[in-house]
Structure 1
Amino acid sequence: MSDLIILLEGTEAGHRAAMMLALMAAFLHALFGAMQKGRFDPWLSRGAIDGAYALMAAPFAFFVVPFPEPHMWVIFLAAWVIHTIYKLLMAMAYTRGAYTVVYPVVRGTGPLFTVIGAWLLFGEVFTWIQWLGVFTLLAGIYGLAAFNLRTLSVGRDTMPMALALAVMTGLFVAGYTTWDAYGIRATADPFTFLAWFFMIDGLVFPVIAGLRYRSMITPPPLIPLLRMGAIGAVIAIASFGSIMLATRLDKVGEAAVLRETSTVFAALIGWLMLRERVGRAQIALMALIAAGAVIVEMGG
């Protein structure tokens, strides 16, 4: 599998594969976000998911993939710091705000700064048509967040803080997308990065979640929480692995923009799973998001 990824890098077939991987990551990431915001406390959800994917990744890290090169440890350390701050901010935002408002703001902030980061770090350049697509997508994402905010009936008192946290979280989304793309390109075998990343990244939040669980007056049943963590871990590995492989195969900026069609999937999940209303205006805004992604892809 590693040889195939390396063979496809920078080719037209690799470009098509990256597009499909980014779209798959979009759907899976929206599903992952709904799981973290859903039945359980967001801190507990994240801890259960992280602990599960650390356990899943450990055998692959130690016994399957090649051992990381010496220079990779600094990259892993920086990635661990960026992701930990991102997850802290994300949990804080979800605790204070509705999923259909917080999630679009996070995902809308990310791609713009990722495109800028990809230009600074990798020298990637977007055409003016692609920039038109980026701003079309952003207009749809932020429009969706604004619409959901206007129609929100509960939790309005905590929403300003939730929105501020969502913007900060989006900046860290851009940071980890760009840095992780650098990391997966810095090692000979891309699966070395993925296996070791998941094992290292999953060490912090289980501790935070465990302390929070013990402090709760009425904690949720442990078995359903752990079951959700195992399912969420599989989704997280598939989602993050897909977008990281996409950034190795093709341009980081394009993959990041395509992934933000996750906002469309998030609205559908909010409607189907969380029973949140989706009207004609939201459908139109979701179409605008999809159109922006198509413009970016066609303008490259």
Structure 2
Amino acid sequence: MSAFFVGLEGTEAGRVAALCLAVLAALLHATFAALQKGRHDPWLTRGSIDVSLILVSLPLALLVVPLPQGREWWLIAGTIPIHFVYKLGMAMALSRGAFTVVYPVVRGTAPLATILGAAMVFGEVFTPVQWLGVAVLLGGIFGLAIYNLRHVVLERDTLVAALTLAVATGLMVAVYTNYDAYGIRATPDPFTFLIWFFLVTAFDFPVIAALRYRNMANRPALGPLLVRGAIGAVFAYGSFGAIMLATRLDKVGEAAMLRETSTVFAALIGWLVLKETVGPRRFALMTMIAVGAIIIELGA
């Protein structure tokens, strides 16, 4: 599997695969984020997800993929503080604001910062047509966030804090996207980096969740929470894994921009699952996001 994947690098088939992986990551990440905002406390949900990630990743890391060598250990260790800060910001934002307000701001802040970071780290350059696509896509994302902000009625008293945290979390998305892209490119077997990443970054939130659960006056039943965590772990593997692999096969900035179509999927999930209202204006803004992503890809 690793040899086949590495063989796609630098080919047209690899570019198409990267495109498909980025869009898949968008769909799965929107679902993953919605799971954190569902009927359980987002801190407990994230802790439950990480428990499942440990149980899945440990045997894979020890028995399936080659062990990291030399500086690969340092690259993998570097993901721990970066993703801890990201997860912390995401949980804090989701606990203070509506999903359809917080999520677009996170995803809107991330791609532009990612593109600038990729230009510095990997020397990537966007064409003028692609920058037009970036403008259209970001206009749709931030337009969606502003529209939601004006009409949301829940959690208004904590909305400013939620938006501030959302912007900071979006910047952390840019940091981890570029760092993870560098790490997976520097590791000969990409699945070694990927699986060890899921293992080493999953030990923090189970501790936080356990302490939070212990101090709760009304503790939720563990069974449904663990089931949600197991489902979330599957989506986490799919979303984070897909975007990391996409950044190895093609440009980091392009993959990051395509991933931000997750905002469209998030709005649909908010409407269909979380019962948040979606009207014609929001549908038009969602269409802008999709059109922007298409322009970016066609302008490559």
TM over 0.5: yes
Partner of 1:17: 17
- Return the alpha-carbon distance in structure 2 between the equivalents of residues 247 and 153 of structure 1: 38
Q: CA offset at residue 128 of structure 1?
A: 1.0
SS at the partner of 2:276? coil
Q: How far apart, CA to CA, are the structure 1 residues paired with 2:221 and 2:24?
A: 32
Shift of 1:72: 1.3
Tell me, yes or no, if structure 1 residue 238 matches structure 2 residue 238. Answer: yes
Deviations 1:106-132 (A, max 9, x none): 000000011111111111110111111
Counterpart position of 1:210: 210
> What is the CA–CA distance in structure 2 between the aligned matches of 1:7 and 1:107, rounded to whole Å?
31
Deviation readout 1:233-285 (Å, 9 max, x if unpaired): 01100111111111111111100000000000000000000000000000000
Q: Deviations over 1:141-186 (max 9, x none)?
A: 0000000110111211110010000000000000001100001011
Match of 1:177 in 2: 177
The equivalent residue for 1:256 is 256
- Cα deviations across residues 25-78 of structure 1 (Å, max 9, x unaligned)? 100000001000111000000000011112101101011100101101221222
Distance 1:211 1:7 in 2: 46
State the alpha-carbon separation in 2 of the partners of residues 40 and 249 from structure 1: 36
One-letter amino acid of the counterpart of residue 273, structure 1: V
Secondary structure (helix, strand or coil) at the match of 2:214 reads helix
Residues of 1 paired with 2:229 and 2:153: CA distance?
A: 30
Aligned to 2:133: 133
* TM-score when normalising by structure 2: 0.99
1:136-215 equivalent positions in 2, closer than 5 A: 136-215=136-215
The match for 2:270 is: 270
- For 1:270 and 1:76, how far apart are their aligned partners in 2? 34
Q: Distance in 2 between matches of 1:38 and 1:58?
A: 27
- Rounded to whole Å, the distance in 2 between the matches of 1:178 and 1:11 is 22
What is the one-letter code of the residue matched to 1:268? L
CA distance in 1, matches of 2:12, 2:118: 20
Q: Can you give the 5+ residue segments of structure 1 that lack an aligned partner in the other structure?
A: none
When normalised by structure 1's length, the TM-score is: 0.99
CA distance in 2, matches of 1:51, 1:176: 21
Asked if 1:86 is matched to 2:116, the reply is: no
State the distance in 2 between where 1:116 and 1:10 align: 22
1:31 aligned counterpart, secondary structure: helix
| 1:198-237 per-position Cα deviation (integer Å, ceiling 9, x unaligned) | 0101110000000000000011000110011001001100
Deviation at 1:13, TM superposition (A): 0.6
Task: Provide the C-alpha distance between the structure 1 equivalents of 2:266 and 2:43, rounded to a whole number of angstroms.
Answer: 20
Structure 1 match to 2:220: 220
1:24 & 1:59 partners in 2: Cα distance?
A: 25
Separation of aligned partners in 2, 1:10 and 1:215: 52
Give 3-state SS (helix, strand or coil) of 1:85's partner.
Answer: helix
What letter is aligned with 1:35? Answer: L
Whole-angstrom distance in 1 between the partners of 2:153 and 2:6: 50
| Code of the aligned partner of 1:220 | P
- Further displaced range: 259-268 or 124-133: 124-133
Q: In structure 2, give the amino acid aligned to 1:169.
A: T
Shift of 1:299: 0.4
Q: How far is the alpha carbon of 1:5 from its aligned partner?
A: 1.0
Identity of aligned residues (%): 63
Question: Is residue 2:75 matched to residue 1:59?
Answer: no
Deviates more, 1:209-218 or 1:150-159: 150-159
SS in 1 for 2:157: coil
Secondary structure at the aligned position of 1:96 is classed as: coil
> How many Å apart are 1:99 and its aligned residue?
0.2
* Structure-2 separation of matches of 1:63 and 1:141: 42
Alignment of 1:96-107 (within 5 A): 96-107=96-107
How big is the shift at 1:135?
1.4
User: How far, CA to CA, are the matches of 1:54 and 1:117 in structure 2?
Assistant: 30
